Structure 1
Amino acid sequence: MDATADELAGVVDLFGGLTRSELERALAEAAFRADGASVDEDALEEAIADALESFALVAYEPSGRNGDAGAAASAAGDGDETLLVAGPTAFPSVPDRAEDVPHILDVEPRRLERAALGETVRDEFANAADDAVAAGDAERIETLLDVSYDVEAWAPVELDDERARLEVALE
């Protein structure tokens, strides 16, 4: 099973957020249910990296910000509390046969604090903008300008300063 960024977002969105290992288990279950296939781990890692870069997925560390999500992640037993969450550029879609995954996996749905999640995304966006400007990557800068509006619509944050910095870099 090769999942798209929107399918990854759809699976994590079923739960509010999943750790990487939980996402792998969810996708493995969906692939098996769909056609007996398995998940290519290298392809999945690449898909997750691409989804994070495009802001279709967001890595969110709930510890200290949202006790319920942190406790739920700890209860998962994998020691990794970083959650992957559907991001501002995602159009979450659930892959075939994955709609039953929440009933199969022993993972409680997570409720995330939108303001804290927004701050995490703002910080990640600022870092991506720094990297794009430092590299002089005009294509990435243009992409990030578009993404900035998605982020602001998705979370209670403002990216005016970052957007201005990106626009100056394009001149």
Structure 2
Amino acid sequence: MTAAQADLLIDRPSVADGAALWRIAKDSGNLDLNSSYSYLLWCRDFAGTSAVARGADGEPVGFVTGYVRPERPHTLLVWQVAVDAAYRGHGLAAALLDGLTSRVGAERGLSSVETTITPGNTASERLFISYAARHGAAVEREVLFDTGLFPDGPHDPEVLYRIGPLSLTPSA
């Protein structure tokens, strides 16, 4: 843990955090921005599979959202990861991802983590490749959604990164 991370608290998001998560996602410049309403719902319905980093004032400075895949109950799909510009470069995204998967693994058990990354998103590629290396897991890649599937104009393909096997098991 870096000195910058020591001043942060990582916990579950609450509905009151939805607006801040939307702002952080909007300011990231890399994420597909969802409606503000969706971030409120996410903080309500998927708080157990998401994490937020709070600064000294308690305000969110980073987040990771995810859900457990219904057909694969030991797979966490990571939807979005974003860190406020003032907190980037200190390993916060990695700490959020490690903290979330540790918590979800202890509660439910995890054998794999999935995410999608558009080609050229080097920061996300590095984050998930380094996550796999830290956890001794393999990474498989395949195009999940090709460009032609997106109805709202040009969109890069979404490449699925499947990381596993992991051995994150529930606590007794």
Query: TM-score scaled by structure 1?
Result: 0.35
Which one scores higher on RCO, CA 8 angstroms, separation ≥ 6? 1
